[in-house]
Structure 1
Amino acid sequence: MSTDQTPTAAGSGFSYTLTRTLDAPAARVWQAWTTPDQYAQWAYAVPGSVEMDVRPGGTWKATMRTPDGTEFPLTGSYIEVAEHRALTIGMNVPGRPDPATMTVELAEEGPRNTVITLRQTCDTAEERDGAEQGSGMLLDGLTGFLAGGKQG
């Protein structure tokens, strides 16, 4: 497993890219990311709170639980869906007129390894740093789930 982090200041915002090599085929990673009961097991979501309609224009929602036990609801939609390859996810952010978007890309490297890349552009450095930390936690949870352990 490897992780690369690349924060950058983009022309109209602040971006980050996280890349990790996972020990699982892309179809398995896709299933973990797009199946509500599996997603809840590794993504720090409250069991039973995850709903997903994984298609362009479909919606999703989940109630996340922080390590200190605080719960907060998240909602959004799927902007682009390329099965086993890529998701562009819109996330509704209170006080922000347009959804924040995150892109998840999957690239198989042989039969058992998948490179996952998460990208997001934020309005401020502070927002980027928080989103990047959250995405890192998601990748940690996903890595543990795929290895057979439960997270969250």
Structure 2
Amino acid sequence: MSTERTTTDNAFSYHLTRILDAPVGRVWQAWTTPEQYARWAYAAPGSVEMDVRPGGAWKATMVTPGGEFPLTGSYLDVAENRLLVVGMDVPGKPEPSAMTVELDEEGGRTRIAVRQTCDTAEERDMTEQGSTMLLDSLTAFLAEDA
């Protein structure tokens, strides 16, 4: 399964699209249920908290080869089974960094689109790589849970 990348007018933005072999409701649950999210999104078990509604907070501790990193943020926009706009708190930035996740049903499968605008090319490259890894892990999680 490949990821489609679209270049945007803003040189510091990315847009990834992928077709997942799962219905929209299943993909939505993977993104919005703490236990499921922790299983595929590199989060420490028990560290994920989610209040999935506009203005609701989330937090997770991400586990990487370099150690554990606590993350926090809020949901900027939510439309069940269709849209999540996730704000991520970034130290030193007055506004959260927003990542948009859109879901569309396509014959029992789901087209997922992830996009984000960053401040620099380096930040864009790092967050795009992280989003690609998340999509890879989500794809594997959905396949094993099928």
TM-score range, shorter chain: over 0.9
Q: Secondary structure at the match of 1:147?
A: helix
| 1:62-119: CA deviation from partner (whole Å, max 9, x where unpaired) | 00011x15110110000110000010010000111110000000011102x1000000
Which residue is equivalent to 2:6? 6
Q: Distance in 1 between matches of 2:92 and 2:138?
A: 29
Which residue is equivalent to 1:37? 35
Which residue is equivalent to 2:75? 78
Task: Tell whether 2:132 aligns with 1:136.
Answer: yes
Moved >4 Å (runs of 4+): none
Q: Distance in 2 between matches of 1:59 and 1:124?
A: 26
Which residue is equivalent to 2:20? 22
Q: Secondary structure at the match of 2:72?
A: strand
Task: Tell whether 2:98 aligns with 1:101.
Answer: yes
Which residue is equivalent to 2:60? 62
| 1:46-73: CA deviation from partner (whole Å, max 9, x where unpaired) | 000000000000000000011x151101
Offset, 1:9 = 5.2
Gaps of 5+ in 2: none
Q: Distance in 1 between matches of 2:87 and 2:66?
A: 25
Offset, 1:3 = 1.1
Q: How does 1:112-123 map to 2 (within 5 A)?
A: 113-123=109-119
User: What residue identity is the alignment partner of 1:117?
Assistant: A
TM-score when scaled to structure 2?
Answer: 0.95
**Which of 48, 51, 55 is residue 53 of structure 1 equivalent to?**
51
How many equivalent residue pairs?
145
Q: Aligned in 2, Cα 1:146/1:61: closer, same or farther, shift over 3 Å?
A: same
User: What residue identity is the alignment partner of 1:78?
Assistant: Y
Gaps of 5+ in 1: none
RMSD, aligned CA: 1.2
Q: Secondary structure at the match of 2:77?
A: strand
